[in-house]
Amino acid sequence: MKLIRSSLSLTAFMATAFLSITPLHASDRNITDKELSDESNTSDWLAYGRTHSEQRFSPLTDINVSNVSQLKPEWYAPLPDKSDIVGTPLVVDGVMYYVGEMNRVRAFDARTGKMLWEYDPDVAKEIANNDMKKVFWKHNRGLSTYGDKLFLATWDGRLIAITRKDGKEVWQTRTFDHDQPLNITGHPKAFDGKVFVGNGGTELGPTRGYVTAYDAETGEQVWRFYIVPGNPADGFEDATQEMAAETWSGRWWENGGGGNAWHGWTYDEKYDQLIFGTGNGGPWNIKVRSPEGGSNLFLSSVVAVDADTGEYRWHVQTAPGDTWDYNSNMDLVLANLEIDGRDVDAVMHAPKNGFFYTIDRSNGRVLSAEKFADANWSTKYDLEEQRHIVADGARYPGGEKNIYPSAFGAHSWHAMSYNPKLNLAFIPTNHLGNTFKDDGKETKPGHKMESHKLYMGLTGWELTKDPHESRGSLQAWDPVANKRVWQVNQKSPWGGGTLTTAGNLIFQGLPDGMFKAYDARTGDVLWSYNVGLGISAPPITYELDGKQMVSLLVGPGGALASNFGGPGELGFEGHGWKYGVHERRIMTFSLDGTAVVPEQPEPQLAKPVFDEAFEVDPKKAEAGAGVFAGNACIACHGVGAVAGIKAPDLRESPILFEGNEKAFESIVRGGALLANGMPEYPDLTDEDLESIRHYIRRQAHDGVKPGGGH
């Protein structure tokens, strides 16, 4: 592992910061649950959602509705990252920490933006000689702190502890084997001397989801909870797994069942329980994984377990018999609410499926569940029976059905916040649908998923639009009255995470590069600033030396970000965020900021290049489309090979030109760019490589006329 001090060396700004000492204000203060639960602390941002409650609410009022229009840049720091920037920075004793591309951790002076040190977990080296090199997820949503340590989870499956003061590695442990088709993109959660972590990978092979807690001092495993039951012939780990098995049919264990918990968890100190959301089924289509139906516990659920032992407490299933990728890996926010004249210790949840849940966290009973977006898969949540009433035909028995919300969710991982002063939750909302297609050819019961191969159990899957008038929105939701209070329509879906404050403000960044402050009471826009690049990460706020500051990471990320670069019909047109062109940054604002921030390059769309020497073979191109999708190339290079911000647009790459076959092979099959985050596919045949070339050249030729005209 590499520790690099002040190594922002990729720009002129970075080159000035090669210092070997940590500033005096960095500390090795011992962070405990008392600090992590302290809602009054305004100088630090100690957890993903600021405190254990995950509310993302700050009691700071220096910046408020009356003066937020005066907000200006306090400092900025250019970042070497080229791809997804989606995380929440932490601030401890005047030092800001974030995790970037390839899980590199960097520390900055939170007053000035000067980089102090960098820790590199050497992800490319870790995966160089195993199957993990076939699929890359270069991003991560954040860090965790406890004691004097920071904890990071690498997408290759390691949980690592480093010192917060200087970034030195203390321990690391492997959370899954190298040959498993799993990954980690979520933040770890430190609590009560333990560190909790989940994993993802449901669509990429046979996986049995689980979550694990480790000792924060040693990295030793404390407990593990399996989200779906295993093979009954092997016996069950406990009575909970035996109970869950009764909700499955067929030979689900051969595909693992899925359920991976990749995001969305919180520590409930009052009831000493860990509450987490679980993932969708593997594969998506229940006809394949559980052909005789069943609710398939604990897929698409909110689950509470004993924080000390991992023993099951309660669950709420948000999508029984999930067939739509409606995972519940979204925020779980703790609050004390007054409902029907009594005080309720609640947990609030707005998952993909379009329903907002208010749950009594003492016993797991759903108190309300109402639609916050158009949702035609379920008619309602029956409070008496404590279950969803799934709409007729929702599981597309006729072979094709338009369902909304889409698999990207009415609300995805973009952070929801809650303002206890106003009793409002703020939800970044997507208004999209999906046409699910199943003609039976690729979805026969008992189909075996291949490791590290994308498979959803569908013949086709197309993004559509739901009935809402816009494609995205920000809305305020009252969890007691169970209704929307206001909604601001937005041109694009995939709006960034949110922050709310006692100054009656809510902050959010958008895919078009606008960072905005809204009146939390009405939704009125009070301030905006163009950062010059799309935003997905949520902002944070903190106060140092009597000055309140608001910070965020600039740069889009996540599944839909691969479509941010090009034109389209679902709200992505015109962004023009191109890989390798626009600089990722940390931006920090204050009321008296004077920083001069260099302008970003103008938005740019890809310009496909016509290669007159390359004659496209239609049959090879069609075969290449399947290889391209099946190996998850679309995740970075875009659907239809129209890339956005995550990777180069291959339609304009000379590597695909006639005569460059060897160079193409060295990258795709030989791993020449593995260190940059380009996967290596040693199992692809010459025929596969040739078909991909013909597919991409077809896409390029369709997008440009001979001679270079568009």
Q: Could you list the active site residues? A: 325
360: nearest Cα among 479, 500, 484, 226:
479
3-class secondary-structure state, position 428: strand
Pairing of strands 265-268, 257-258: unpaired
Angle at which helix 686-702 crosses helix 618-630, to 10 degrees, equals 110
3-class secondary-structure state, position 652: helix
3-class secondary-structure state, position 49: coil
How many beta carbons lie within 10 A of that of residue 539, not counting itself? Answer: 27
Instruction: Tell me the β-bridge partners of 417.
Output: 426
**Contact yes or no for 228/244 (Cβ under 8 A):** yes
The backbone torsions φ and ψ at residue 442, rounded to the nearest 5 degrees and listed phi first, read: -110, 10
Q: What is the DSSP letter of 278?
A: -
CB-side exposure of 323: number of CA atoms within 13 Å? 30
How many beta carbons lie within 10 A of that of residue 652, not counting itself? Answer: 16
Distance, CA of 307 to CA of 310 (rounded, Å): 6
Distance, CA of 550 to CA of 79 (rounded, Å): 18
DSSP per-residue codes, 168-218: -EEEEEESS-TTSS-B--SPPEEETTEEEE--B-GGGS--B-EEEEEETTT
Tokens representing residue 555 in the block: 């740069």
**Contact yes or no for 212/168 (Cβ under 8 A):** no
Positive or negative, the CA dihedral 16, 142, 434, 623 is positive
Q: Which residues have CB under 8 Å from 360's CB, separation 6+?
A: 344, 345, 346, 366, 367
**Contact yes or no for 248/256 (Cβ under 8 A):** no
Distance, CA of 108 to CA of 97 (rounded, Å): 6
Pairing of strands 57-58, 498-501: parallel
Angle at which helix 661-668 crosses helix 686-702, to 10 degrees, equals 110
Distance, CA of 277 to CA of 303 (rounded, Å): 6
Distance, CA of 142 to CA of 86 (rounded, Å): 8
3-class secondary-structure state, position 125: helix
Distance, CA of 609 to CA of 705 (rounded, Å): 9
CB-side exposure of 135: number of CA atoms within 13 Å? 28
Distance, CA of 260 to CA of 211 (rounded, Å): 8
